[in-house]
Amino acid sequence: MQLTRFTDYSLRVLVFLGAHPDRLCTISETAQAYRISGNHLMKVVNRLSAVGYIQTFRGKGGGMRLSRAPKMINLGDVVRHMEDRFDIVECFNEKLQDCPLLPACALRSVLADALRNFMATLDRHTLQDILGNGTSGMFALARGVQISIKSVARERAVR
């Protein structure tokens, strides 16, 4: 199963916001940190806000933050909200039923089981599990870029 880039970026935004719980973060800094398009990230942020995972604030001094504690953000739910389709293969899409194997194919049920197991694994984890205890003090990003953060655990203890 391969998640769309949209879902990948959604998870990255949540991780970034979870790593910076003490302040508002901007789309621009998040896009820069991950070296991804700010325009694409804006669409991601709009969807995350619409489904209630983040709060956004407009204007000077605006930004975004998680709308709930990381332990209350289930990864399976996030993926379900962000993915438009879960068509692993053509026969999963009711409109595309052209496969000649379809009438007697056992592969469809095997792949459906794999998808259920994939989602069940995500359902067992929250954003807090991804953030860990925050003791590393560094938020490592792709291509060797690092953004220094305070200990997430220490920041949460203050709250």
Q: How far is CA 104 from CA 93, 113, 116, in A?
A: 17, 17, 21
Query: Would residue 159 count as lying in a domain?
Result: no
Find all residues with CB under 8 Å of 147, minimum gap 6, and list them. Answer: 19, 33, 138, 139, 141
Contact 53, 78 (CB under 8 A): yes
pLDDT of residue 157 exceeding 60:
no
| pLDDT tens per residue across span 54-107 | 999 999 999 999 999 999 999 999 999 999 887 776 667 677 677 777 677 788
Q: What pLDDT band is residue 135 in, cutting at 50, 70 and 90?
A: very low
- Number of domain units in the chain: 1
Output the domain CATH number for residue 148. 1.10.10.10
Predicted pLDDT of residue 96: 67
Domain extent, residue 27, equals 5-154
Q: Give the SS3 label for residue 19.
A: helix
Instruction: Determine, yes or no, domain membership for 37.
Output: yes
In a domain, 143, yes or no: yes
CB of 126 closer than 8 Å to CB of 73: yes
Q: Please list the residues that pair with 89 across neighbouring strands.
A: none
